[in-house]
Structure 1
Amino acid sequence: MRFLLEHRVLGAVITKTLELAKDAPLLYQEHGIDGGTGLLPVAHHPMVRLKGRGRFFTSKKRAALTADEAFEPGRSRLAYPMHVTELDRAIGADGGALDLTQWPIAARNEDFVTLVEAAGASLGWSAVLREEEDDIVFFLKDPAILPVTMLWFSNGGRDYAPWNGRFSGVTGIEDGCAAGVGGELAAAAPNPVAAEGVPTGLALAPGRTHVVRHVTGAIPRPAGWTDIAGITVAGDALMISDSAGRQVMLPWRRDFLRGND
């Protein structure tokens, strides 16, 4: 499917292509951003829902950050602001330790944390092993184009309408180029994400085209798997592996995530 956004964004023309792979459980997504002026933060917004518990695995990150102020006052489980380098050593609102890789991270909470990709990474990936669903949901990106992954933990913490506390067990896994929860003004100003040495928006210019690519996938959990050690690309193959050395191999569009910009 190919789409053209009728409204221009900062003067830029936005096109979108979605393609389901014929030979693998993969959704290939591409956005073209042509022309315009200014700095444009971008991000995807897939949401994963868990009936029960899950474990989060990801490519190496250099930092996990929260904003200066609580995302949802009174319902935030994380400390604001926060800066940690290990996802299993996050700081809770009470000052105690919190593990961002074990989901849900709390009961009835709303939290937003920005993960910044490690320097030099060639492939950025995130994966959730969902226990009750007995599957693995994963996302792939080029970290040079989308250097952050934002986690939006939405677990019944919004008591007011229209949510009324009913929206629970959901986490947004949002790969992007942005200053976290902030918009255009935050992206253009000094901010904690930019301080980590990564861009927080796409620099638009007349005659310039940005191409942003992203992949979503899902597979049944292989028998005996309890973790995901890595996701790698080798030519026309995408390989998902666990810590025991077992692998699942999927057909892959060679170089889809390369040369995007």
Structure 2
Amino acid sequence: MKRFELARAITENELLLHYQPRLMLPSLTFRGVEALVRWRSPERGLVSPLQFVPAAEGAGLIRDLEAWVLREALLQSSVWRRDGLDFGVSVNISLSDLHDQSFRRLMVHTLRIQGNPHAFIVEVSAASAATDPDPPLAALEELRERGIRTALDDVTTSEQITATRTLRWNYVKLGRSLIRSAPTDPAAAALARSLAEEVHRDGARLAAVGVENAAGLDFARELGCHLVQGYHFAAPMPTRELITWIRFRS
């Protein structure tokens, strides 16, 4: 994957966002969405973010990519609010950008113009945060002081919670692979229960990602999850489909 392809994707409108709904337990009330970037390449077709996001990091383009996602998600959020739909949006941000004061300024500036900080959540990968030699405590506090909430994403080990406990997350999201496996795998279920207990003790709100069936939903309820997300409710989808989904549920 060549650098010029990635750069072109960012500047030539080849990227798009899909949105996956989050629901609140126990009522299953619609609560918000996670913005997920997609790339429709003229040469490669629809490229998985599992391929192009690491490639963008390696090519030094992750800041440009995440700035595009941030602006696009907040612009779309402002359109929804104008149309009477006011709900939260979360965006994944890399640690390198979280440490970058100029990127945080961009985030705050964009929110001031287009968004509601209290409806915005910054998600950070647990695997990255747990191994960061310079934990972004000050950066996260700066965001929270401005009303932005934070989430530790894709937690699969107790070590990830322990290593990032001082960062005081608003939300902790148990990993997709763990939630998928837990209903049929006793070891995964035991691990998920242990992680949930830690999160509840720390005072963060617990979320389950990867809820794909009724058994997964029942398990999320058992864990005391505040939020759930997964294909059992809806796949990530373009804006038009999301609005139809919201109106159908209401």
* Same topology, TM > 0.5: no
TM-score by length of 1: 0.23
Which structure has more relative contact order (CA 8 Å, sep 6+)? It is 1
TM-score by length of 2: 0.23
